[in-house]
Amino acid sequence: MKHAVYPGSFDPVTNGHMDVLTRASKIFDTVTVTVMHNARKQGKHLFSLEERLDILREATGGLPNVRVDGFSGLLVEYMQRNQNGVIVRGLRAVSDYEYELQIAHLNRQLGDVETVFIMAATRWSFVSSSMVKEVASYQGDIGKMVPPASERALKRRYSLEAL
Ligand code: PNS
Protein backbone atom coordinates (compact mmCIF):
# COMPACT_ATOMS: atom_id res chain seq x y z
CA MET A 1 0.00 0.00 0.00
CA LYS A 2 1.67 3.19 -1.15
CA HIS A 3 0.61 6.26 0.78
CA ALA A 4 1.56 9.90 0.20
CA VAL A 5 1.14 13.08 2.20
CA TYR A 6 0.85 16.30 0.23
CA PRO A 7 1.56 19.12 2.74
CA GLY A 8 1.25 22.83 2.18
CA SER A 9 -0.35 26.11 3.19
CA PHE A 10 -3.11 25.90 0.55
CA ASP A 11 -4.23 29.48 1.18
CA PRO A 12 -6.24 28.75 -0.93
CA VAL A 13 -5.73 25.65 -3.07
CA THR A 14 -4.99 26.50 -6.73
CA ASN A 15 -5.32 24.57 -9.99
CA GLY A 16 -1.55 23.99 -9.78
CA HIS A 17 -2.02 22.23 -6.43
CA MET A 18 -4.99 20.29 -7.86
CA ASP A 19 -2.87 19.17 -10.83
CA VAL A 20 -0.12 17.84 -8.53
CA LEU A 21 -2.68 16.25 -6.20
CA THR A 22 -4.63 14.58 -9.02
CA ARG A 23 -1.46 13.14 -10.49
CA ALA A 24 -0.27 11.96 -7.07
CA SER A 25 -3.64 10.24 -6.56
CA LYS A 26 -2.95 8.16 -9.69
CA ILE A 27 0.49 7.08 -8.50
CA PHE A 28 -0.29 6.34 -4.84
CA ASP A 29 -3.03 4.16 -3.36
CA THR A 30 -4.02 6.94 -0.98
CA VAL A 31 -3.04 10.59 -0.62
CA THR A 32 -3.62 12.83 2.39
CA VAL A 33 -3.50 16.52 1.57
CA THR A 34 -2.51 18.21 4.81
CA VAL A 35 -2.86 21.90 5.60
CA MET A 36 0.13 22.93 7.67
CA HIS A 37 1.66 26.02 9.17
CA ASN A 38 4.45 27.75 7.26
CA ALA A 39 6.50 29.92 9.62
CA ARG A 40 7.55 32.10 6.67
CA LYS A 41 3.90 33.01 6.12
CA GLN A 42 3.20 33.75 9.80
CA GLY A 43 0.29 36.19 10.11
CA LYS A 44 -0.06 36.40 6.33
CA HIS A 45 -2.74 33.79 5.78
CA LEU A 46 -5.97 35.02 4.22
CA PHE A 47 -8.00 31.99 5.27
CA SER A 48 -8.09 30.24 8.65
CA LEU A 49 -7.03 26.62 8.91
CA GLU A 50 -10.71 25.57 9.09
CA GLU A 51 -11.58 27.61 5.99
CA ARG A 52 -8.67 26.14 4.04
CA LEU A 53 -9.75 22.65 5.06
CA ASP A 54 -13.34 23.33 3.96
CA ILE A 55 -12.19 24.64 0.58
CA LEU A 56 -9.93 21.62 0.10
CA ARG A 57 -12.67 19.17 1.11
CA GLU A 58 -14.94 20.60 -1.55
CA ALA A 59 -12.21 20.80 -4.20
CA THR A 60 -11.11 17.18 -3.67
CA GLY A 61 -14.62 15.72 -3.47
CA GLY A 62 -14.15 13.98 -6.83
CA LEU A 63 -10.92 12.21 -5.85
CA PRO A 64 -11.96 9.06 -3.94
CA ASN A 65 -8.51 8.12 -2.62
CA VAL A 66 -7.71 11.62 -1.34
CA ARG A 67 -8.40 12.67 2.23
CA VAL A 68 -7.99 16.13 3.78
CA ASP A 69 -6.31 16.79 7.11
CA GLY A 70 -4.74 19.63 9.10
CA PHE A 71 -1.75 19.66 11.46
CA SER A 72 0.26 22.26 13.34
CA GLY A 73 3.69 20.94 14.16
CA LEU A 74 6.66 19.50 12.37
CA LEU A 75 5.93 17.67 9.15
CA VAL A 76 8.23 14.81 10.16
CA GLU A 77 6.24 14.43 13.37
CA TYR A 78 3.05 14.20 11.34
CA MET A 79 4.65 11.62 9.07
CA GLN A 80 5.76 9.50 12.03
CA ARG A 81 2.45 9.77 13.89
CA ASN A 82 0.24 8.89 11.03
CA GLN A 83 1.70 6.60 8.47
CA ASN A 84 4.92 5.49 6.90
CA GLY A 85 4.35 7.33 3.67
CA VAL A 86 6.28 9.67 1.46
CA ILE A 87 5.95 13.43 1.15
CA VAL A 88 4.77 14.80 -2.19
CA ARG A 89 5.66 18.32 -3.22
CA GLY A 90 5.03 20.08 -6.51
CA LEU A 91 7.63 21.90 -8.57
CA ARG A 92 6.55 24.65 -10.94
CA ALA A 93 9.85 26.06 -12.10
CA VAL A 94 13.57 26.00 -11.32
CA SER A 95 12.96 28.84 -8.87
CA ASP A 96 11.06 26.42 -6.58
CA TYR A 97 13.91 23.94 -6.55
CA GLU A 98 16.31 25.50 -4.06
CA TYR A 99 13.63 25.94 -1.37
CA GLU A 100 12.20 22.47 -1.94
CA LEU A 101 15.63 20.83 -1.93
CA GLN A 102 16.36 22.41 1.44
CA ILE A 103 13.05 21.23 2.97
CA ALA A 104 13.44 17.73 1.53
CA HIS A 105 16.96 17.35 2.96
CA LEU A 106 15.83 18.79 6.28
CA ASN A 107 12.93 16.35 6.54
CA ARG A 108 15.15 13.42 5.67
CA GLN A 109 17.67 14.49 8.28
CA LEU A 110 14.98 15.05 10.93
CA GLY A 111 12.74 12.09 10.30
CA ASP A 112 14.21 9.86 7.59
CA VAL A 113 11.27 10.72 5.34
CA GLU A 114 11.46 10.60 1.56
CA THR A 115 10.13 13.43 -0.60
CA VAL A 116 8.85 12.83 -4.12
CA PHE A 117 8.48 15.74 -6.52
CA ILE A 118 5.77 16.04 -9.14
CA MET A 119 6.23 18.67 -11.83
CA ALA A 120 3.13 20.81 -12.14
CA ALA A 121 1.91 21.12 -15.74
CA THR A 122 3.50 24.12 -17.45
CA ARG A 123 0.11 25.80 -17.83
CA TRP A 124 0.11 26.31 -14.05
CA SER A 125 3.75 27.38 -13.77
CA PHE A 126 2.78 31.01 -13.10
CA VAL A 127 -0.03 30.23 -10.66
CA SER A 128 0.57 30.62 -6.92
CA SER A 129 -1.81 31.22 -4.02
CA SER A 130 -0.19 34.60 -3.35
CA MET A 131 -0.55 35.78 -6.97
CA VAL A 132 -4.14 34.57 -7.10
CA LYS A 133 -4.95 36.46 -3.89
CA GLU A 134 -3.39 39.62 -5.27
CA VAL A 135 -5.37 39.39 -8.52
CA ALA A 136 -8.59 38.63 -6.60
CA SER A 137 -8.02 41.57 -4.26
CA TYR A 138 -8.09 43.85 -7.31
CA GLN A 139 -11.21 42.05 -8.52
CA GLY A 140 -9.38 40.36 -11.39
CA ASP A 141 -10.65 37.12 -12.93
CA ILE A 142 -9.10 34.14 -11.15
CA GLY A 143 -11.66 31.62 -12.43
CA LYS A 144 -9.16 29.77 -14.62
CA MET A 145 -6.50 29.53 -11.91
CA VAL A 146 -8.35 28.03 -8.96
CA PRO A 147 -11.06 25.42 -8.36
CA PRO A 148 -14.62 26.78 -7.90
CA ALA A 149 -14.46 26.37 -4.09
CA SER A 150 -11.41 28.67 -3.91
CA GLU A 151 -12.91 31.15 -6.34
CA ARG A 152 -16.08 31.42 -4.27
CA ALA A 153 -14.15 31.83 -1.03
CA LEU A 154 -11.90 34.50 -2.56
CA LYS A 155 -14.86 36.39 -3.97
CA ARG A 156 -16.59 36.28 -0.60
CA ARG A 157 -13.45 37.43 1.18
CA TYR A 158 -12.91 40.32 -1.19
CA SER A 159 -16.66 41.08 -1.39
CA LEU A 160 -16.88 40.60 -5.13
CA GLU A 161 -20.16 38.75 -5.13
CA ALA A 162 -22.22 41.94 -5.14
CA LEU A 163 -20.54 43.22 -8.35
O1 PNS B 1 2.70 25.63 0.65
P2 PNS B 1 3.94 25.95 1.40
O3 PNS B 1 3.73 27.17 2.28
O4 PNS B 1 5.15 26.08 0.52
O5 PNS B 1 4.22 24.69 2.39
C6 PNS B 1 5.32 24.69 3.27
C7 PNS B 1 5.07 23.68 4.39
C8 PNS B 1 3.78 24.03 5.13
C9 PNS B 1 4.98 22.28 3.82
C10 PNS B 1 6.30 23.78 5.38
O11 PNS B 1 6.41 25.08 5.86
C12 PNS B 1 6.15 22.79 6.54
O13 PNS B 1 6.43 21.62 6.40
N14 PNS B 1 5.68 23.30 7.69
C15 PNS B 1 5.50 22.50 8.89
C16 PNS B 1 6.62 22.77 9.91
C17 PNS B 1 7.89 22.06 9.51
O18 PNS B 1 7.97 20.85 9.49
N19 PNS B 1 8.94 22.85 9.19
C20 PNS B 1 10.20 22.30 8.77
C21 PNS B 1 10.29 22.13 7.25
S22 PNS B 1 10.23 23.70 6.43
> Which structural domain, as residue segments, surrounds residue 116?
3-161
Q: Is residue 41 among the annotated active site residues?
A: yes
User: Does residue 163 surpass a pLDDT of 60?
Assistant: no
Q: Is residue 57 among the annotated active site residues?
A: no
pTM of the full structure: 0.95
Rounded to a whole number of angstroms, the CA Rg of the chain reads 15
Domain of 156: which CATH number? Answer: 3.40.50.620
Q: Choose which residue among 14, 37, 38, 116 to substitute to test ligand 1 binding: the one with the highest number of ligand atoms within 8 A of its C-beta.
A: 38
Instruction: Please indicate whether residue 150, judged by its CB atom, sits closer than 6 Å to ligand 1.
Output: no
CA 163 to chain CA centroid, nearest Å: 29
How many CB atoms are located within 10 Å of the residue 84 CB? 9
Closest-lying ligand 1 atom to the alpha carbon of residue 73: 16
Domain count, the chain: 1
Instruction: Please indicate whether residue 74, judged by its CB atom, sits closer than 6 Å to ligand 1.
Output: yes
Per-residue pLDDT tens digits for 111-135: 999 999 999 999 999 999 999 999 9
pLDDT band at 12 (very low <50, low <70, confident <90, very high): very high
Return d(Cα 129, Cα 118) in angstroms, integer.
18
- Check if the beta carbon of residue 31 is closer than 8 Å to that of residue 21: yes
